[in-house]
Amino acid sequence: MNKFSIPILISALICSGSALAEDKYDYIATPVATQIDDLRDEDDDGVINARDLCPKTAVGAEVDNDGCGTYIKSSDKMNLHILFANDSSVVQPMFSRQIRDMSEFLESYPSTSIELQGYASKVGRAEYNLALSKRRAEAVQRMLINNGVSPERVSIVGYGDTRTSGEVDDEATQAQNRKVVASVVGHKGHVKEEWTIFTKLGN
């Protein structure tokens, strides 16, 4: 090292020391991000909740950009036909399986809804029979809801004794008119399942 290098080195260290002493900044806390949209995907269909128009898509279904399943034509249909005892709105145990099957059908087709139609036989006053037919539809509605069907998907209507079937007014015909039947609304067919690399090919 020559005689000119030492003074230059000392001057450089003094200058750098003073510069470091002056470079002080106030502490700024890390900002906390405010998340407005719901980024969760509760039905695991690849579309976040905030954009999902069909929040309960069947597992494995092929979905569009709105999270709704696509369908293929199907002949699958599900009907309810539940009979009641005279002057009763109690659902007999023998019809529980039918209601459970309807609940599973609605779960498989999340874009569908159901209308329960209550009826009564021509025994008694028309006003009473109208109320009785509604109570019968409500009884089936409660069972569907208890099986996990959303209340918004189940509507009811009571027809009383205004739409009885059969021309002969005997006990057998009256018994057939003490009923609740159902129509599935918006059924499009089978949910089209998404093809994946793990799909098993048929032999």
The pLDDT value given to residue 70: 58
pTM of the model: 0.56
Question: Residue 75 pLDDT more than 70?
Answer: no
- pLDDT, one tens digit per residue, over 168-192 is 567 888 888 899 998 776 655 544 4
Q: CA distances (Å), 148 to each of 9, 77, 105, in order?
A: 81, 20, 12
Domains in the chain (CATH in brackets) are 27-70 (no CATH), 76-189 (3.30.1330.60)
Question: Residue 146 pLDDT more than 90?
Answer: yes
Binned at pLDDT 50, 70 and 90, residue 129 comes out as: very high
Measured distance CA(188)–CA(92) in Å, rounded: 31
Which residues are bridge partners to 117 per DSSP? Answer: 157, 181
Average pLDDT (53-73) is 65
